[in-house]
């Protein structure tokens, strides 16, 4: 009971230390609010509300059908302009895309000729130019094929492919980016907060004060793990509810309780890793450099940025030893596919095992550090 009381009171002390650290509080606030929102909505490969203008010199049923085919959220409703406005609009960056429909386009098409459409793209917006040109080509080809088959009475194909987009019907990147960024912030801040808490003890000389008390390394470490883990867990919960669900409009299908349980196990692993880095670093700048070296591979190779299936098999196997890999797979299963505890428990078990290994290594390192100071 005395050990539990010591762990509780040391954890409360960590709350008071964090409350006085305004820079760290601002980092937490920004990371789980604007950091999540900007990362989810600022991905360059997404085409969203692109500006398009159309020069319709045919004024036919088909050209009107093409104009109406450009719809939000991929494009703004197209503007009908003339030839002179097209060049001026591109020069002044009013439009990202301009589509020119020549005279007699519908008549030539029905006569079996191959008329050409002119698509001008503002390539200074590289990401939208690349993806948008592909979208426009697909839209035009589909509308022209449908019109020609209807007018000529061509027989339909014997096989029709009907795609069904599961879990993300509109292919909205923010649905994936918002949750993945929350996971990245959980990993980053749990490492930084626990490592910084240990560094602060050393820089302020309070670690020596703890050593003269009847406290062990296990109690000191558990206090930092539960207190900093709880701070990150509460911040992540608020971010999921206020930023991801309300601000970004992401429908979280699965159980929030299952995710929070998995997040707690993930935090057990990452806070232990943070303490391990805190015992190696001697100052906050050193901790920052070590965090970058560890955090970048954990985030990039976990599957949150690039699908694991696209990675070499050896790398996929190696990253099974990282807690972020299991946490990303688990979060996708829970929030997008609605998976329950009976599906994701192997990932939780793997995360717990990895966390236990990190905790044992950090505890051994902390005991060695304390013995050297004594």
SS3 label, residue 55: strand
pLDDT digits (tens, 9 = 90+) for 261-276: 999 999 999 999 999 9
Please give the Cα distance from 18 to 228 (Å, whole number): 9
What pLDDT score does 204 carry? 76
Please give the Cα distance from 228 to 190 (Å, whole number): 7
Closest-CA residue to 106 (of 70, 53, 150, 51) = 150
Question: What integer best gives the mean pLDDT of the chain?
Answer: 87
CB 105 within 8 A of CB 115: yes
Domains and CATH numbers, the chain: 2-42+169-373 (no CATH), 52-152 (3.40.1710.10)
Instruction: Give the predicted TM-score (pTM) of the model.
Output: 0.76
Q: Are strands 97-101 and 118-121 parallel, antiparallel or unpaired?
A: antiparallel
Mean pLDDT for 73-98 is: 88
Closest-CA residue to 185 (of 48, 314, 39) = 39
What pLDDT score does 128 carry? 76
Other beta carbons within 10 angstroms of residue 285's beta carbon come to 10
Q: Copy the structure tokens of residue 210.
A: 């703890």
When pLDDT is cut at 50, 70 and 90, the band that residue 112 belongs to is confident
Closest-CA residue to 144 (of 120, 110, 118, 119) = 110
pLDDT digits (tens, 9 = 90+) for 185-235: 999 999 999 999 888 888 777 776 666 677 788 898 899 999 999 999 999
What pLDDT score does 253 carry? 85
Other beta carbons within 10 angstroms of residue 153's beta carbon come to 6
Higher per-residue pLDDT: 84 or 150:
84
Q: Copy the structure tokens of residue 251.
A: 């429908």
Phi, psi of 71 (to 5 degrees): -130, 155
74-78, 184-188, 253-257 — which one is most confidently predicted on average? 184-188
What pLDDT score does 237 carry? 96
Query: How many residues does the structure list for the chain?
Result: 374
Other beta carbons within 10 angstroms of residue 312's beta carbon come to 8
Sign of CA dihedral 73, 74, 76, 79: negative
Phi, psi of 261 (to 5 degrees): -65, -45
Looking at the DSSP assignment, which residues form a beta bridge with residue 98? 53, 120
């Amino acid at each position: 009971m005395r050990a539990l009381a010591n762990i509780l009171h040391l954890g409360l002390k960590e709350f008071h230390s964090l409350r006085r650290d305004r820079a760290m509080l601002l980092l937490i606030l920004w990371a789980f609010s604007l950091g999540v929102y900007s990362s989810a909505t600022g991905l360059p490969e997404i085409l969203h509300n692109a500006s398009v203008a159309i020069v319709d010199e045919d004024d036919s049923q088909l050209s009107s059908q093409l104009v109406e085919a450009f719809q939000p959220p991929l494009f703004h409703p197209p503007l009908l302009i003339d030839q002179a406005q097209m060049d001026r609009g591109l020069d002044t960056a009013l439009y990202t895309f301009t589509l020119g429909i020549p005279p007699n386009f519908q008549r030539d098409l029905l006569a079996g000729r191959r008329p050409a459409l002119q698509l001008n793209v503002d390539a200074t917006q590289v990401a939208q130019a690349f993806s948008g040109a592909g979208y426009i080509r697909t839209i035009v080809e589909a509308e022209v094929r449908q019109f020609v088959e209807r007018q000529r009475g061509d027989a339909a194909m014997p096989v029709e492919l009907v795609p069904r987009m599961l879990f993300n019907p509109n292919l909205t990147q923010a649905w994936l980016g918002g949750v993945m960024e929350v996971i990245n912030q959980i990993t980053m801040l749990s490492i930084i907060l626990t490592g910084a808490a240990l560094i602060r003890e050393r820089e302020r000389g309070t670690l020596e004060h703890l050593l003269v008390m009847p406290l062990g390394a296990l109690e000191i470490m558990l206090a930092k793990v539960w207190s900093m883990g709880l701070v990150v867990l509460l911040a992540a919960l608020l971010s999921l509810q206020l930023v991801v669900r309300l601000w970004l409009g992401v429908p979280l299908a699965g159980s929030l309780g299952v995710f929070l349980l998995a997040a707690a196990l993930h935090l057990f692993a990452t806070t232990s890793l943070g303490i391990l880095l805190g015992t190696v670093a001697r100052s906050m700048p050193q901790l920052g450099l070590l965090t970058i070296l560890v955090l970048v591979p954990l985030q990039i190779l976990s599957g949150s940025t690039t699908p694991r299936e696209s990675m070499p098999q050896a790398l996929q196997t190696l990253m099974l030893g990282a807690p972020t890999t299991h946490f990303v797979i688990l979060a996708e299963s829970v929030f997008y596919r609605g998976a329950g505890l009976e599906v994701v428990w192997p990932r939780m078990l793997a995360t717990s095992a990895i966390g236990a290994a990190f905790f044992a290594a950090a505890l051994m390192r902390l005991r060695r550090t304390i013995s050297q100071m004594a």
